[in-house]
């Protein structure tokens, strides 16, 4: 069974570049304090790394 990761957006996407905004959208985020839960994978980790300054990750 794949482990789950909780992702919370803590900062606004205003001022972020287009790729970072699209990454947030594909994660299911877009508004501050929104929380999503995703299966952990290398692809997800790459996306989280791209927007690491806008989110908090909980294992």
Tokens 């900062």 belong to which residue?
A: 11
Question: How buried is residue 58: exposed, middle or buried, by Cβ count under 10 Å (0-12/13-18/19+)?
Answer: exposed
Residues in the chain: 59
Alpha helix (H) residue ranges in the chain: 18-27, 42-50
CATH superfamily, domain at 4-58: Ribosomal protein L30/L7 (3.30.1390.20)
Instruction: Write down the pLDDT at residue 59.
Output: 86
Q: pLDDT tens digit string along 26-53?
A: 999 999 999 999 999 999 999 999 999 9
Which pLDDT score, from 0 to 100, does residue 1 have? 63
pTM of the model: 0.90
The predicted pLDDT at position 2 comes to 77
The structural domains of the chain, with segments of one domain joined by +, span 4-58
- Per-residue pLDDT tens digits for 4-33: 999 999 999 999 999 999 999 999 999 999
């Amino acid at each position: 069974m794949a482990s789950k990761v909780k992702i919370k957006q803590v900062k606004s996407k205003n001022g972020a570049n287009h790729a970072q905004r699209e990454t947030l959208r594909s994660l299911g985020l877009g508004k501050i304090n929104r929380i999503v839960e995703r299966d952990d994978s290398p692809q997800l980790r790459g996306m989280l790394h791209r927007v690491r300054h806008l989110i908090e990750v909980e294992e």
